[in-house]
Amino acid sequence: MINRQGNLDNFQPQSRILMNISCLPILGLLWVLALGISACTPAKPVAEADYSAKIVGSWLGTVGDMKESVSFRADGGFIAQLRPMGFISNTLNQGVSGTIRGTWAINGKNITLKITGAEDENVMNRVTSSTIMAFSQDEISLKSDRGEISAFQRETSL
């Protein structure tokens, strides 16, 4: 309807609706930016006293030319699966996986693994240790006793 001044009577409420709808993409963009900025903040490091409790769970990483998945149990046991990397292995899943079992212990920044069993790997009855270089809730960086540095990310379930 047009009033005496030649204006639409219902124009104001409609313009508010249009303005609210046009703000949705901007609000969505602001939300995505806020989420992105929070994801860029550095992860809080795990205190050394909490290493043994916080390492429990499954981790994924690369060690040398092998992909490794390792699960640390609260009872001090671990199981690791290794798979060679390379074109055939990565694209066709043709790599032979090896499995290593054993126990783990953390003393300060050192983690020691005692291997008690292995399938498709030649590492029976070995003990190895690494130094924890960095440790956050979802990432851990280790330096082996041979000086190699490996990074692992916590495996998350969907």
Provide the pLDDT confidence category of residue 119 given band limits of 50, 70 and 90: confident
CB 40 within 8 A of CB 32: no
* Domain containing residue 16: 1-41
Same domain, 37 and 114: no
Same domain, 99 and 141: yes
Angle made by CA atoms 149, 151, 157, in degrees to the nearest 5: 160
Average pLDDT over residues 107-134: 87
Query: Could you tell me the pTM of the whole model?
Result: 0.67
- Count of domains for the chain: 2
Same domain, 148 and 97: yes
Task: Please name the residue that has the structure tokens 């990397």.
Answer: 85
Compute the distance between CA of residue 49 and CA of residue 11 in angstroms, rounded to an integer.
65
Residue 40 has what pLDDT? 57
Residue 18 has what pLDDT? 45
Same domain, 99 and 135: yes
**Hey, which bits of the chain come out as E strands?**
57-63, 66-72, 77-84, 98-107, 110-119, 127-135, 139-144, 149-154
- The upper half-sphere exposure of residue 155, i.e. CA atoms within 13 Å in the direction of its Cβ, equals 12
CB-based contacts of 150, cutoff 8 Å, min separation 6: 61, 62, 63, 68, 130, 141, 142, 144
Provide the pLDDT confidence category of residue 3 given band limits of 50, 70 and 90: low
Same domain, 36 and 55: no
Same domain, 68 and 107: yes
**Segment 37-78, tens digit of pLDDT:** 555 556 799 999 999 999 999 999 988 778 899 999 999 999
Same domain, 33 and 78: no
Average pLDDT over residues 93-106: 83
Tokens of 126: 């070995």
Best CA proximity match to 78, nearest among 127, 45, 37: 127
Residue 19 has what pLDDT? 47
Range among 16-20, 46-50, 93-97 rated most confident:
46-50
